[in-house]
Copies of this chain bind each other. A is one copy, B any other.
Amino acid sequence: MLIVKVVKPLVSTNRIPDFEHKHLQVVLDGSTKKVAVDAVGAKPGDWVICVSSSAAREAAGSKSYPSDLTIVGIIDHWKPDPPKTSAPSPSPSSSKPAGGKAS
C-alpha cells in the first residue's frame, strides 16, 4: 500500500455512474497528484494508506467497483521524509510523532 497525503476533494460532474456517491480525493504520492476513492472519510492534510491494484476494487465496496486506488486507513501519526531534491532544512522539528495505540 502507498503512504500518501490527502490534498482536497475532486469535483468531476461528468463521470461514469459506477462511481456512485463515493467521494474522490486528490492525494499526493511523492510529488505526483493522483485520485483515490475514499473509504474511510479522510480530511485534507491527513496521511493515509492507499491500496492499489485489483484490491482497490473490493476495498471500495465491491468487486465491480471501478477503483484502482482506494483510501483504506488514516495513519495515526506520520512524519514524512524531508524532500529529496531540496537542501535539508535546519529545523524540521515542528512535526512531533507520538506513540499511538496499535490496533
Q: How far is A102 from B70 in the complex, measured between Cα atoms in Å?
A: 19
Which residues of the other chain, B, contact A18 by a CB distance below 8 angstroms? 58-59, 72
Which residues of the other chain, B, contact A15 by a CB distance below 8 angstroms? 40, 49, 72-74, 103
Which residues of the other chain, B, contact A6 by a CB distance below 8 angstroms? none
Q: How far is A98 from B74 in the complex, measured between Cα atoms in Å?
A: 28
Q: How far is A51 from B74 in the complex, measured between Cα atoms in Å?
A: 23
Q: How far is A49 from B103 in the complex, measured between Cα atoms in Å?
A: 18
Given contacts A53-B54, A54-B68, 11 further A-B contacts (CB under 8 A): A1-B34, A2-B34, A3-B34, A3-B35, A11-B76, A11-B102, A13-B74, A30-B32, A53-B68, A55-B68, A56-B66
Give the contacts of A64-102 with B (CB-CB under 8 A): 64-70, 72-77, 81, 84, 100-102
Given the known inter-chain contacts A3-B35, A72-B19, please indicate yes or no for A13 contacting B101, CB distance below 8 A: yes
- Partner of A66 from the list B11, B72, B76, B100 (CB cut-off 8 Å) is B72
